[in-house]
Amino acid sequence: MRGIHFLVAVLAMVAPFLFMKEKATMAVYGGLFYGYTTFNKLFVLDSSAYASKATYGKGLASAEYISFENAVRLFIEFSGVGPTVESVRRAIDDFALPVQSHVEVTAFNISYPGGVFPVEWVYTNATSDKVLVYFHGGGYMAGNANSHRRFLGYLVDKLHVKGLNVDYRLLPEFPMPIGVEDCFAAYRYLIEELNVSPNNIVLAGDSAGGALVLHTLLLARDRGVPLPSGGVMLSPFTDLSLNYSSFNDNAPTDFVLSPSQLAWTAETILSSANSSDPRFSPYFADLSGLPPVLIQVAQLEVLRDDGVNLSKKIKAAGGDVVLQVEKFGSHMLPMMFDFVPEALQSVSKIVDYLQLHFGTVESSSKCPLGY
């Protein structure tokens, strides 16, 4: 029987490449993940003997995490993800999973003096007018509503609220600060056009989307618009100077985002601007007068210190901030919730935090591994 499982595992790892044409796809990634997981469960009897870059401090990452890391590293190697806008967009699109079957999506456009951009409602069993506004990551140049719809669907299903998935306009076709203004316009649309109370709104986002949360909070404060109930920033990319230790120290352990990729992203965003300009690096803005925020980072990611330093600066400015540093995990750990227990645990903490703002009571501690 072990021999049969071994053949299935090898086939799962090899077969996707037989059908791959010009680029790797989610099928390749899924096959690699299944094959590695099966192989590890069959033949890695003592996980402590399985050397992995995912180890940190005491204890080891789960077998699922190790398998996932190996699969993603191979995916990135074979798909040719490099420092071009096109390759980054393709990689994020290829990793996107379909939204859960029971999640409803209603798309529409928001128009304001700065232009028009698409958004969508994402919801299941919303029982109130409370809204979780989500800004996707992707370095301001990649990602879209589709790439993060499944993650938002999971959150709103647990929280019984509506999600507003903001498909803001991207670089380089739309230079900064157009994307920032789109996100601010989406927030204003809720409170001014739909009359949603700011107390019933939380802004959330990952990576560049986390920075967009901060950008939007700062614009609301500076322009006299009522602030939302809170903000959630996951692995935020707010300091484009990259002047922190995790940028280099975590290069071996972050299997999603390399220092070279991050440096190229920062240069592309800045163009000729200074990295300490708060219009591009909101970390350098005055951070006083913000609502409560959650910042979650992974111990092993290159952007870890961006979030850690941001939490310190907000706290020094008198703000209410909760910092969660996940013991394991690469960049974008929560997005891996379908596959690895460490990611699901990090998402459970996000849900628990949001429950404080939305008043929902369902426990997230026993939610199943993915959908």
Which of 138, 304, 276 is closest to 312 using CA atoms?
304
Question: Predicted confidence band at 41 (pLDDT cuts at 50, 70, 90)?
Answer: very low
Reply yes or no on whether the pLDDT at 55 is more than 50. no
The pTM score is 0.86
Average pLDDT over residues 345-359: 92
pLDDT of res. 222: 98
Higher per-residue pLDDT: 175 or 12:
175
Reply yes or no on whether the pLDDT at 156 is more than 60. yes
Length of the chain: 371
In this structure, of 27-31, 198-202, 300-304, the range with the lowest mean pLDDT score is: 27-31
pLDDT of res. 126: 79
Distance in angstroms (rounded) separating the CA atoms of residues 159 and 333: 20
Q: What average pLDDT is seen over the chain?
A: 85
Q: Which residues pair with 111 in a beta bridge?
A: 116
pLDDT of res. 195: 97
Residues 328, 301 contacting (CB under 8 angstroms): no
Compute the C-alpha angle 12/16/21, nearest 5°.
Answer: 175
Question: Predicted confidence band at 308 (pLDDT cuts at 50, 70, 90)?
Answer: very high
Question: Predicted confidence band at 35 (pLDDT cuts at 50, 70, 90)?
Answer: low
Q: What are the phi and psi torsion angles at 342 (to 5°)? A: -60, -40
In this structure, of 126-140, 197-211, 247-261, 349-363, the range with the lowest mean pLDDT score is: 349-363
Q: What residues act catalytically?
A: 207, 301, 331
pLDDT tens digits, 188-220: 999 999 999 999 999 999 999 999 999 999 999
Residues 313, 287 contacting (CB under 8 angstroms): yes
